């Protein structure tokens, strides 16, 4: 994937054309410093989905470190939470 770095003025002038032909990300700079990245919508959605999957995996791994609860204790805690006040 080739890296394309454009300054914000160039992106502003060619935005419609850049978006129509967008295959690889475009890094946008302001005064030579990176400020934004323009990516295809499907790429962005795939990234969000992957982040969510990784967060779920991390949560599972973190739960594995917690001590296990036996069934009777779990039932008692569940009854206490679901009992009418």
Per residue in 35-55, pLDDT (tens digit) is 999 999 999 999 999 999 999
Is the model's pTM score more than 0.75? no
Q: What percentage of the chain carries pLDDT values higher than 70?
A: 98
Q: According to the model, what pLDDT value does residue 3 have?
A: 86
Q: List, in order of start, the domains of the chain with CATH numbers.
A: 4-39 (3.40.1620.10)
Per residue in 16-31, pLDDT (tens digit) is 999 999 999 999 999 9
CB of 12 within 8 A of CB of 30?
no
């Amino acid at each position: 994937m080739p890296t394309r770095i454009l300054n914000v003025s160039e992106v502003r002038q060619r935005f419609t054309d850049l978006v129509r032909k967008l295959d690889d990300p475009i890094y946008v700079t302001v005064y030579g410093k990176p400020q934004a990245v323009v990516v295809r919508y499907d790429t962005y959605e795939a990234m969000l989905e992957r982040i969510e999957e990784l967060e779920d995996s991390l949560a599972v791994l973190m739960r594995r470190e917690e001590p296990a609860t036996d069934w009777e204790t779990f039932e008692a805690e569940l009854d206490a939470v679901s009992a009418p006040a």
